[in-house]
Chains A and B, each alone.
Chain A
Amino acid sequence: MGKVQLQISRRTFLKGALTGSAGAALALGALEEAAAAPSGKGATPWYYRGEIKRAYSVCDMCPWRCGVIVQSVNGRVYKIDGNPADPKSRGMLCARGQAGASFMYDPDRLRSPMIRIGERGEGKFQEVTWEEALDAMAQKLLAIKEQYGPESVAIFGHTSGEFWFTDYFAQAWGTPNASKPSSSLCTSPREEASLLTVGLPVGGHEPVDWEGVRCVTLIGSHIGEDSRNTVMQDFTRAWARGAKVIVVDPRFSSAAAKADYWLPIKPGTDTALLLAWINVLITEHRYDAEYVAEWTQGFDKLAAHVAEMTPEWAAAITELDPELIRTTARVMAEHLPQSVIVPGRHVTWYGNDTQRMRAVYIINALLGAYGREGGIYFNKSPYIEAYPHPPFAVAGSSGGCSAEPGAENGELPVGPSGKARADGARTKFLRGPTAMQELIEPMITGEPYPIKALIVYGVNLLHSIPNVPRTIEALKKLDLVVAIDVLPMEHVAWADIVLPEATIYERFEDVWTVSHKTPYIALREPAVEPYADTKPAWWMARELGLRVGLEKYFKWETVEEFVATRLQSIGYTVEKLREEGGVIVQKGKPYLSDFKGASPFKTPSGKIELYSEALALAGHDPLPVYTPVEEPPPGWFRLLYGRHPVHTFAKTQNTPLLHQLNPENELWLNAEVAASLGLKNGDRVWLENQDGARSGPIKVKATQRIRPDAVFMSHGFGHNAPGLSLANGKGASDAALITRYALDPICGGAGMRVNFVRIVKEA
């Protein structure tokens, strides 16, 4: 051992001498090198251990997807940096992106396909070959298809390879019950509200024209804690340029600490604040009258609607100072049209979220922000053809945070045996992509028709879907559960078949296409070989497809071939894309001026619909209305949850580097309330919700930074998965305490901030 290290050390010394950059150690001479190496403490830095290989890819540590350059030496990834040519990362990365290698080299990773040998949930498995696992899966799927139709297979997916299962395989197989948590558990309200109001999706990359913005308003959007790289870059640069920042949050978030105005709103009353702002803008004639006249419809109805909704009216509801409400509305107006309320991301809060988001967009319209420099630009998808596959058995409806417009306006997609979605679209709620949480009920009750199989790709079922006991019940009833994942997450224990996935840096992946101000296409090539017996999602989907009679969709043999075919449509090859730095940036049409008088708004009227005829026709409020939400009884707190900057969902808590930075979540509790409960910083408590669900223990963070009527914790902790050696049992799970949700009647979103908890000192 010592000898080997010494040899490496000498080579280093030589290389250092040649390049003149061996660093401090070199300056102290050869004696020290020789002396230091055997001790193993002064090991050679990775960038001197051999030739550095660079690969272009796109980060998979969160759904934002920054372009990266992956540096590896001798087949091991050491450093992942932002790709300077990438419009999202611009050469930088957040903590999670920096930890990509740590995630990949997590010793707890799933190594081999497995088939369950114990009871569901017990976590007893036997390692099998890929042949055995895929054959078993195919056989079962075909049997279910035979008996119940292909629609009885639900497919849930998230992360970089979701396309292969929730889109490609699902549509080829013929199930409309494919779903992504990024829709009904996250962004559906803002997407549907945007489609209803301006006829355009918000899209994966919120189209705020940060470079020129002069006033930014955040509602419950905690940039900094929500550490999406580009947004942090844009926000802090706008702030440094002097843009006014208004933050509405019951919590003094990192962003609130930067704000010029912080509105510590009572949770659940945001729509009242928004309506009061509209009231001020209209009654004080502070809106962009010319823009409103040209590009909107329904202004008079809106003006009449908000006439009585004064700041004083809202103040009584929101517990904010009416003057602060008035002042902030004026500040927004002073900077129009470079004044924007940021759409936010996770907006499934109270079940009335589509209406709230409509109010947000109405203000943006009154400020004249859409299509204006420094306002909200128009996203454009990059031009590249889809792979020329034969027509799919069913149209897609899984959505995601970049849902395309129009898909939901017509008929619901219908599967080969004549069944549409089982999630209650059109009955329980009006429109929107498949609502994941609404697919659980059919698994239990068989209504409207039974769902018998579930393929879960990268979605932690027990940390993302509200009402965990119901999900467990469903998992017990299914005929087949297949979990495709990187780590032994808790839901994996409930699977019949477990398929281990190669991470993004171990596989070639379809090019990443981003709807953006400057639409772009990014290469995703592997840096190293897959770990143990793991495989890429495309390979699994294809192998499965070949086994269930879908050969015609899988004429391509490798994803490289698939990608090469697509790139051909824009005159590119993989090599050329690599030579050009891994990214192709195209020209967009971001502003109204780019449309030369034509309307970019794809609403029926071609205008921004302040008043929504579509909602009126469907029996919903055509103008946003404030509806009070249930309040916590005395002694109970509203459970708020959000992000910690170094973690993504329930995915990264076990990543060694990130675990070191933040090993467990804390319970934010107002300092005075904590004192009255006899609690101090660091005390460990349990939480119990209104239905008796408990989670903990969690460390108390007694802080002035939160209102007395709510508690807050970062999402994704409280893992109950013994295979996660670092994260298991650390902190509390907000998901476990979210047994209740309020279904948004318009978009099918699951409002999850409707749960109340009390603090108990023991389990």
Chain B
Amino acid sequence: MNFFRSCENANHSEEKLLRYRVGQRLVHAVLATSFLMLLFSGLMVLWPPLLLWVRSVAPDISPGLIHRIGAVLFMAVPMLYLLVDRCGARQLLVESFTYDKDDIEWLKHAWRYFMGHAVGMPPQGRLNAGQKLHHAGVVIFSATVVFSGLALWFAKGYLGPAGLALAATIHGLSMLVLTVLLVGHLYFTFVYKALSAMTTGYVPKEEAMIEHPKWVEELEHQSASGKSF
């Protein structure tokens, strides 16, 4: 079935381009939900007023349980991605860690992009260099947050003071990075009005032409040759 193997984003028109396939959107939704569960329950731990408020509205709620359910979902994301869109998963991993000359140039001018200036940035492919860095960060710090979290979850009683301190520190720092990444993520979504990519799956071709000219080119080349990979 094409749906599971192909990276083809064939359905596009003059106005709109298919940016994220349904599988990718599903994975993103699971990731976002689980991450918010984890963040929320984690914040209840860090910030007692939140805990007290939650307990006053929902006395039987267990932050620990939310955190554990969230953790299971969160850890299931890579598996889910491989299951529903193996190609997309591979593409994400490969692209996030591959940077060309344009990417380096783009990063040098990232400040401009941050301030809302997409026009005139060096030409980018499916992902711009910022997104690549973001994805790479998510991959790396998800791994550290997961492993330190697993240690805190299952190795309790065996860690000892030093092990606990290390695991908790890694867990906290990883989550800090991921949270800042999330804030940035939401920021760019807002600035470049990119939410539709994750809701409908489509982006206006016009925007894509500005931000990802190489990708649009590639898509057109693909549809011209009728080839998928």
Determine whether A and B are in direct contact in the complex, meaning some CB atoms lie less than 8 angstroms apart.
yes
- In angstroms, Cα B138 to Cα A638, docked, is 70
Please, which residues of chain B bring their CB within 8 A of the CB of A2? 59
Verify if A38 is at the interface (C-beta below 8 Å from B).
yes
Mask: chain B, 144-166; 1 = CB below 8 Å from A; 0 = not: 00000000000000000000000
Counting CB contacts under 8 A, is A605 at the interface? Answer: no
Q: Give the CA-CA distance A31 to B59 in the complex, in Å.
A: 13
Output the nearest chain A residue to B54 by Cβ-Cβ distance. A35
Asked whether A625 is an interface residue with its Cβ less than 8 Å from the other chain, the reply is no
**B55 CB–A CB distance under 8 Å:** yes
**Is B59 within 8 A of A38, CB to CB?**
yes
**B60 contacts partner chain A, Cβ-Cβ < 8 Å:** yes
Q: Does A614 contact B (CB under 8 A)?
A: no
Map CB proximity to B onto A28-53 as digits: 1 under 8 Å, 0 otherwise.
00011011101100000000000000
Q: Give the residues from 1 to 46 in chain A that come closer than 8 angstroms, CB to CB, to chain B.
A: 2, 31-32, 34-36, 38-39
In angstroms, Cα B52 to Cα A36, docked, is 8
Distance in Å from the Cβ of A253 to the closest Cβ of chain B?
A: 34
List the A side residues contacting B59 at CB < 8 Å: 2, 35, 38-39
Contacts of A39 in B (CB 8 A): 55, 59-60
Interface assignment of B13: CB less than 8 Å from any CB of chain A? no
Q: Are A35 and B60 in contact (CB under 8 A)?
A: no
Contacts of B52 in A (CB 8 A): 31-32, 35
Closest B residue to A38 using CB positions: B59
Minimum CB–CB distance for B199 against chain A, Å: 37
Distance of A256 from chain B, by nearest CB (Å) = 35
Closest to A39 in B: B59
Describe A's contact surface by its main secondary structure.
Answer: helix
Q: Which residues of A contact B60 (CB under 8 A)?
A: 39
B45-60 interface bits toward A, Cβ cutoff 8 Å, 1 = contact, 0 = none: 0000000110110011
Q: Tell me how many residues of A have a C-beta within 8 Å of chain B.
A: 8
Tell me the complex Cα distance, A31–B57, Å: 12
Distance to closest chain A CB from B11 (angstroms): 52
Distance to closest chain A CB from B73 (angstroms):
26
Residues of the B chain whose Cβ atoms lie less than 8 Å from the Cβ of A36 = 55
Q: How far is the CB of B175 from chain A (nearest CB, A)?
A: 25
Residues of A near B56 (CB, < 8 A) are 31, 34-35, 38
> Which single residue of chain A is at the shortest CB-CB distance from B57?
A35
Cβ of A443 to closest chain B Cβ, rounded Å: 57
In chain A, positions 36-84 with a C-beta closer than 8 Å to chain B are 36, 38-39
Within 8 A of A (CB), among B27-64: 52-53, 55-56, 59-60
Instruction: Looking at the assembled complex, report how far the CB atom of B100 sits from the nearest CB atom of chain A, in whole angstroms.
Output: 55
Chain B residue nearest to A32 (CB atoms) is B52
How many angstroms between the C-alpha atoms of A31 and B51 in the bound complex?
11
- Give bound CA distance, A310 to B59, whole Å: 77
Give the docked Cα–Cα distance between A2 and B53 (Å).
Answer: 17
Min CB gap B62→A, angstroms: 10
Bound together, the chains give a CA A2 to CA B60 distance in angstroms of 11
Q: Which residues of A contact B53 (CB under 8 A)?
A: 35
For residue B56, which residue of chain A has the nearest CB? A35
CB distance from B65 to the nearest CB of A (A): 14
* Chain A residues with CB under 8 A of B55: 35-36, 38-39
Give Cα A36–Cα B59 distance, bound, in whole angstroms: 8
> CA–CA, A34 to B53, complex, Å?
10
- Measured CB to CB, the nearest residue on chain A to B52 is A35
Q: Which of A558-610 contact B (CB under 8 A)?
A: none
Residues of B within 8 A of A34 (CB): 56
- Per the bound structure, the CA–CA distance linking A39 and B60 in Å amounts to 6
In the docked arrangement, what's the CA distance between A35 and B56, Å? Answer: 5
Within the complex, the shortest CB–CB distance from A41 to chain B, in Å, comes to 9
CB distance from A383 to the nearest CB of B (A): 61
Look across to chain A and name the residue whose beta carbon is closest to the beta carbon of B49: A31
Q: How far is the CA of A39 from the CA of B53 in the complex (A)?
A: 13
Q: How far is the CA of A739 from the CA of B112 in the complex (A)?
A: 96
Q: Within the assembled complex, what's the spacing in Å between the Cα atoms of A38 and B60? A: 9
A39 to B52 Cα, complex, angstroms: 11
Complex interface residues of chain A between 186 and 220 (CB less than 8 A to chain B): none
| Bound Cα distance A78, B106 (Å) | 73
Q: A38 to chain B: closest CB distance in Å?
A: 4
- B39 smallest CB distance to A (angstroms): 22
Report the separation of the CA atoms of residues A2 and B56 in the bound assembly, to the nearest whole angstrom: 12
Contacts of A35 in B (CB 8 A): 52-53, 55-56, 59
B214 to chain A, nearest CB (A): 55
Tell me the residues in window 180-198 of chain B with beta carbons closer than 8 Å to chain A beta carbons: none
Please report the C-alpha to C-alpha distance between residue A761 and residue B146 in the assembled complex, in whole angstroms. 47
Please give the distance in Å from B169's CB to the nearest CB on chain A: 27
Shortest Cβ distance from A37 into B: residue: B59
> Please, how many angstroms separate the alpha-carbon atoms of A39 and B57 in the complex?
11
Q: Whole-angstrom distance from the CB of A485 to the nearest CB of chain B? A: 42
CA distance A34 to B52 in the complex (A): 9
- Say how far B63's CB is from chain A's closest CB, in angstroms: 12
Nearest opposing residue in chain A for B60, CB measure: A39
Once the chains are docked, how many angstroms separate the CA of A32 from the CA of B55?
9
In the complex, the chain B residue whose C-beta lies closest to that of A40 is: B59
Q: Give the contacts of A716-746 with B (CB-CB under 8 A).
A: none
Which of B53, B55, B60 has the largest number of chain A CB atoms within 10 A? Answer: B55
Q: Other CB < 8 Å A-B pairs besides A34-B56, A35-B59, A38-B59, 4 of them?
A: A31-B52, A32-B52, A35-B52, A39-B59
Q: Please give the residue numbers on chain A whose beta carbons come within 8 Å of chain B beta carbons, in ascending order.
A: 2, 31-32, 34-36, 38-39
Show 17 A/B contacts (Cβ-Cβ < 8 Å), sorted by A. A2-B59, A31-B52, A31-B56, A32-B52, A34-B56, A35-B52, A35-B53, A35-B55, A35-B56, A35-B59, A36-B55, A38-B55, A38-B56, A38-B59, A39-B55, A39-B59, A39-B60
Q: Which 8 A-B pairs have the closest CB atoms?
A: A38-B59, A35-B56, A35-B52, A39-B59, A35-B55, A31-B52, A32-B52, A39-B55
